[in-house]
């Protein structure tokens, strides 16, 4: 599983607008960030989960060993080396020198693994934030596995951008080189189940409230609305991890973001805005939306990969990744017909309390194939 966060007591203010001027994001409190985010990566069980994801592992392995020309005799920076696996493969593919940077104490395990595999003369493990460390030279390749749920959760790509801008040679190559985010309408029993859970929680609140009144003489009803909002956020508005079957995708998947890792900027990913159209492929029920990503290893234009490799987290009958898909459910599903057009709007930004968590505003206008408007829908979701 990816790193989880409690999304709680983060300091700092949200990026905002004061006097018409857009303010910059608040500085990140490093200690809080470590407690909320990094600490989970210091456990071997967590690294093991990632090392057991065959789709992920095969994609990175093949991207390196089918493109040895990018590594042989070259210098490599592995941003967030974790167990050291990508650094080790880079060295095995012939790299002259690999700088393997890891923020957590996992660096000690990585160092041991490098030594046990006889690569300590090539791979140098450095414990520290990649933003803070210094290298003796610029590198030919930056490799990193930075992707979070729906690509951008965790905001780790910021660190890769920082490393790229400081340490990649002008002729350097990014691994992966490109990334894309996808959104598609889906059908799912999750809608009904989550709605039932929400109804159950509210029925339980009503009983509880009655009991407090009759046993202890206190009227709780003023808290019913905030409790309902809290439960709605928990059961309906929090995106759900799911391993969707492709048959659950009921319309054309739409590309909501595409980026070139060599040129992408933080401001480009701080907020992702997209308006796209999906066409429904049969008479069915729209229960929500699924979001996923893919990344490509294509090298750079002047120095392309010999073998293009792709890592996809799209719904698949055969392969499931630990990222799965993020599902945004609708508590009131809508009947749709073949040819219905969905005009989808997505605004994804960082949570005000924790820049590594995401808030997603989804809107959807449904039109029949004839162009007649059918229904509209808009909701805020949270990727926690």
Ligand X SMILES: C[S@@+](CC[C@H](N)C(=O)[O-])C[C@H]1O[C@@H](n2cnc3c(N)ncnc32)[C@H](O)[C@@H]1O
Binding positions for ligand X, rule: CB under 6 A:
38, 41, 50-51, 80-83, 85-86, 101-104, 106, 129-131, 145, 156, 159
Query: Smallest gap, in angstroms, from Cβ of residue 242 to ligand X?
Result: 20
Output 52 or 196, the one with its CB closest to ligand X. 52
| Smallest distance from ligand X to CB 47, Å | 6
Least Å distance between CB 84 and ligand X? 8
In whole angstroms, the minimum distance from the beta carbon of 5 to ligand X comes to: 13
Q: CA 114, CA 304: separation in Å to the nearest integer?
A: 29
Q: Which is nearer to ligand X, 101 or 311 (CB)?
A: 101
Instruction: Report strand pairing: 240-242 vs 21-22.
Output: unpaired
Active site annotation includes 154: yes
What whole-number distance in Å separates Cα of residue 137 and Cα of residue 172?
A: 13
Measured from the CB atom, is 264 or 330 closer to ligand X?
264
Report the nearest approach of ligand X to the CB of residue 56 (Å).
Answer: 7
Nearer to ligand X, 3 or 274 (CB): 3
Q: Which is nearer to ligand X, 177 or 278 (CB)?
A: 177
Query: CA 294 to CA 282: how far, in whole Å?
Result: 26
Residue number with the smallest Cβ distance to ligand X: 80
Residue nearer to ligand X on the CB measure, 28 or 334: 28
List the Cα angle 339/314/319 in 5-degree steps.
130
Q: Which helix (H) or strand (E) holds 89?
A: helix 85-92
Q: Which of 66, 120, 137, 145 is catalytic?
A: 145
Catalytic residue among 154, 192, 230, 338: 154
Q: How far apart are the first and last CA of the chain?
A: 13
Provide CB contacts within 8 A for 234, sequence distance 6+.
none
Spell out the residues 6+ positions from residue 281 whose beta carbon is closer than 8 angstroms to its own.
250, 251, 252, 338
> Which C-beta is closer to ligand X: that of 106 or that of 360?
106
The Cα 184–Cα 190 span in angstroms is 16
Q: For the sheet with 139-144, list strands across it.
A: 123-127, 97-102, 75-79, 139-144, 168-175
As measured in angstroms, the least distance from the Cβ of 176 to ligand X is 11
CB nearer to ligand X: give 155 or 351: 155
Q: Is 337 a catalytic residue?
A: no
**Of 13, 83, 77, 74, nearest to 303 (Cα)?**
74
What is the smallest separation between the CB atom of 104 and ligand X, expressed in angstroms? 5
Give DSSP secondary structure letters for 233-278.
IIIIIB-EEE---GGGB-B--EEEEEEETTT--HHHHHEEEEEEEE
- Indicate the SS3 state at residue 54: helix
Cis peptide bond prior to 204, omega within 30° of 0: no
* Shortest Å, Cβ 110 to ligand X: 9
Query: Which residue pairs from 53-57 have beta carbons closer than 8 angstroms and sit at least 24 positions apart in sequence?
Result: 53/321, 53/322, 54/319, 55/311, 55/312, 55/313, 55/319, 55/320, 55/321, 56/145, 56/311, 56/321, 56/322, 57/85
Q: Which residues are catalytic?
A: 145, 154
């Amino acid at each position: 599983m990816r790193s989880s966060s409690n999304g709680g007591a983060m300091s700092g203010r949200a990026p905002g607008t004061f006097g018409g001027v857009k303010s910059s994001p608040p500085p990140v409190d490093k200690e809080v960030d470590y407690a909320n985010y990094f600490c989970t990566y210091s456990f071997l069980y967590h690294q093991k989960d990632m090392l057991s994801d065959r789709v992920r592992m095969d994609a990175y392995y093949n991207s390196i060993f089918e493109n040895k020309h990018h590594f042989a005799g070259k210098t490599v920076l592995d941003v967030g080396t974790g167990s050291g696996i990508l650094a080790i493969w880079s060295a095995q593919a012939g790299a002259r020198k690999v700088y393997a940077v890891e923020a957590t104490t996992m660096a000690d395990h990585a160092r041991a693994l490098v030594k046990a595999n006889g690569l300590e003369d090539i791979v140098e493990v450095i414990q520290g934030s990649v933003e803070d460390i210094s290298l003796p030279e610029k590198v030919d390749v930056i490799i990193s596995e930075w992707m979070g749920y729906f690509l951008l959760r965790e905001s780790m790509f910021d660190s890769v951008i920082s490393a790229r801008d400081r340490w990649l040679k002008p002729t350097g190559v990014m691994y992966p080189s490109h990334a894309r985010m996808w959104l598609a309408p889906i059908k799912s029993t999750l809608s009904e189940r989550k709605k039932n859970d929400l109804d159950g929680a509210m029925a339980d609140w009503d009983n509880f409230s009655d009991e407090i009144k009759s046993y202890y003489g206190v009227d709780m009803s003023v808290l019913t609305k905030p409790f309902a909002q809290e439960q709605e956020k928990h059961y309906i508005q929090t995106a759900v991890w799911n391993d969707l079957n492709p048959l659950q995708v009921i319309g054309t998947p739409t590309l909501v973001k595409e980026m070139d890792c060599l040129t992408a900027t933080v401001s480009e990913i701080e907020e992702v805005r997209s308006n796209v159209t999906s066409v429904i492929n049969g008479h069915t029920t729209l229960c929500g939306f699924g979001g996923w990503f893919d990344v490509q290893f294509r090298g750079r234009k002047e120095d392309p990969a010999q073998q293009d490799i792709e890592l996809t987290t799209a719904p698949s009958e055969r392969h499931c990744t630990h990222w799965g898909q993020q599902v945004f459910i609708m508590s009131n599903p809508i009947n749709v017909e073949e040819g219905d057009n969905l005009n989808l709007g997505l605004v994804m930004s960082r949570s005000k309390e924790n820049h590594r968590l995401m808030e997603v505003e989804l809107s959807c206008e449904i039109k029949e194939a004839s162009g007649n408007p059918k229904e509209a829908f808009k909701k805020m979701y949270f990727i926690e």
